[in-house]
Amino acid sequence: MTYPPTPDQPGQGGFQYDPYGSQPGSQPQQPQQPGYPQPQQPGYPAAPQLPPAAPGYPPPYGPGGYGPQLPKGQAIASMVLGIIGVGILCLPIPYVSGIISLGCGVTAAILGGIALKKVNQGVAAGKGQAITGLVLGIIVCALAVIGIIAAGALIAMFTGAGAASTTY
């Protein structure tokens, strides 16, 4: 507990130290002029403080900024090739569209898998684009193979190459 200073205690400066700051006389007071507001310090307000991290969890992310950006070229290329493969697959050219879309699908699936692996390692960015490219690549590959088989069966059926030849 603190007591007000007495005049016979030199060097106290008009207040006595209170480590908890709970006593009214423990902090020095700034003189206020009646009718005038307190002057504000120029500048920006202090940045908000983030709460401490819970034990066992990584620290929270700080405020956003313009830091170093991670590359995501493979993820973008995978997604674009998957979209192109779907577009080419819709063309009415039987074998050509199937073969070209199959090539785009295989390349999209490979690039998507590599990009997803890099994203999970923290080396690259673009997880959503990598997943999209991987899924589109697999779907395009499956549809292209089905389309090539179906086109081959239709061509064989109409040209008579699939008919059994009977010679007497």
- Alpha-carbon span 96 to 90, nearest angstrom: 11
pLDDT > 80? residue 168: no
Over residues 42-54, the mean pLDDT reads 69
Buried b (16+ CB within 10 A) or exposed e, 133-157: bbbbbbbbbebbeebbeebeeeeee
Please name the residues in contact with 156: beta carbons below 8 A apart, sequence gap of 6 or more: 162
Q: Which residue has the higher pLDDT, 147 or 23?
A: 147
Is 106 strand, coil or helix?
Answer: helix
State pLDDT tens for residues 61-112.
655 556 567 888 999 999 999 999 999 998 888 788 899 999 999 999 999 9
Q: What percent of the chain has pLDDT over 70?
A: 58
DSSP 15: S
DSSP 66: -
Delimit the domains of the chain by residue range: 73-159
Per-residue pLDDT at 151: 87
What does the mean pLDDT of the chain come to?
Answer: 78
Q: Which residue has the higher pLDDT, 17 or 57?
A: 57
